[in-house]
Amino acid sequence: MQARHNLVSTGAACLSAITGLTGFIPAALAQGFQPGLSHAAKDQIGMMQPASTMAQDMVAFHDNLLLPIVTVISLFVLGLLIYVIFRFNERANPTPSRTTHHTGLEVAWTVIPLLILVVIAIPSFRLLTKQVALPETDMTVKVTGKQWYWTYTYPKDQNGGFEFDSNLLDQTKLAAGKLKLLDVDNEAVVPVGKAIRLQITADAVGVIHSFVITALGVRMDAVPGRLNEVWFKAEKEGIYYGQCSKLCGKDHAYMPIAFRVVSEQAYAAWLADAKKKFASASSDVTVADAAATIRQ
């Protein structure tokens, strides 16, 4: 009896811990654990603030569908475990049932998870299609992952014709306001409210990287010898950071991504400056049509 009493009190302690935890999360949010816009904030809980419609859709998919499903399933399994511990322990249930098959139960535990997966798959595939099926885009930037930095090429036929390397700042003499392991010497600049196509690849003699800007909903592998495409349309001006997200080698952690989204006038001004600044690294790259390459 004493043992049973201990079990009950342990169960009660567990439940109160869970209730305490669920109470803690909204309280923590109210205390200002706000998600960052350009990069993850300290003590942030939840996804980063989306700055593109794609990222908004991804966050909504996570917050409104995945998280509730995962929470319900976790609580259901926890409830089942607690029930089994009390109802079917040796003392409460000395003569166990010899049942080995129950058709109804087996159908249920196959069909219900299947239905849950279908419910997840439909919006998931819709989102994936939106990400990889490119709409009419306004401009293109070519991104090349190298060991270990990024090169951005602004194609010649799009008023560019230059390229530049984007390297991590010297971490030993970081200026005030600059972010550790995120700020770079040369940011890529794009105009706000325009659909930007990114053509992403990696150095031919290099390794695979992954180009990610969370707030813009961009994630695509950079593979040597392969031209991947993805797009985004930034809704707000600002600087958006990302990091290489594929373990690519010794300096994987030191090749951040920084995209500055500016007004159209500011972009035109930057473009004129950049053409002079990066004139030594002029590039003849023009926009490739990946879809046409696949068709051939």
Sketch the per residue contact string, 7 through 36, with Cu ion: x for CB under 5 A, - otherwise. ------------------------------
Return the DSSP state at 177: T
- Please state whether beta strands 256-262 and 188-191 pair in parallel, antiparallel, or not at all (unpaired): parallel
Q: How many CB atoms lie within 10 A of CB 197?
A: 20
| CB within 8 Å of 201: residues ≥ 6 apart | 142, 143, 144, 145, 222, 223, 224, 225, 226, 227, 228
Tell whether residue 146 is a contact of Cu ion (CB under 5 A). no
In the set 188, 190, 244, 258, which binds Cu ion (CB under 5 A)?
244
Binding window for Cu ion (CB under 5 A); candidates: 55-63, 167-175, 223-231, 236-244: 236-244
Complex with Cu ion: residue 239 or 248, whichever CB lies closer:
248
Complex with Cu ion: residue 209 or 233, whichever CB lies closer:
209
In angstroms, the Cα distances linking 246 to 198, 208, 212, 223 are 18, 7, 10, 11
In the set 39, 197, 209, 233, which binds Cu ion (CB under 5 A)?
209
Binding window for Cu ion (CB under 5 A); candidates: 49-57, 153-161, 207-215, 278-286: 207-215
Tell whether residue 248 is a contact of Cu ion (CB under 5 A). yes
Complex with Cu ion: residue 38 or 210, whichever CB lies closer:
210
Binding window for Cu ion (CB under 5 A); candidates: 61-69, 158-166, 242-250, 258-266: 242-250
The Cα 205–Cα 1 span in angstroms is: 70
Complex with Cu ion: residue 160 or 242, whichever CB lies closer:
242
Binding window for Cu ion (CB under 5 A); candidates: 67-75, 80-88, 101-109, 204-212: 204-212
SS3 state of residue 202: strand
Contact between 26 and 227 under an 8 Å Cβ cutoff? The reply is: no
Q: Would you state the structure tokens that stand for residue 208, as one six-digit string?
A: 């695979």
Tell whether residue 197 is a contact of Cu ion (CB under 5 A). no
Closest by CA to 276, choosing from 126, 116, 161, 141, is 161
Binding window for Cu ion (CB under 5 A); candidates: 33-41, 135-143, 247-255, 277-285: 247-255
Complex with Cu ion: residue 142 or 209, whichever CB lies closer:
209
The Cα 230–Cα 202 span in angstroms is: 15
Give contact residues for Cu ion (rule: CB under 5 A).
209, 244, 248
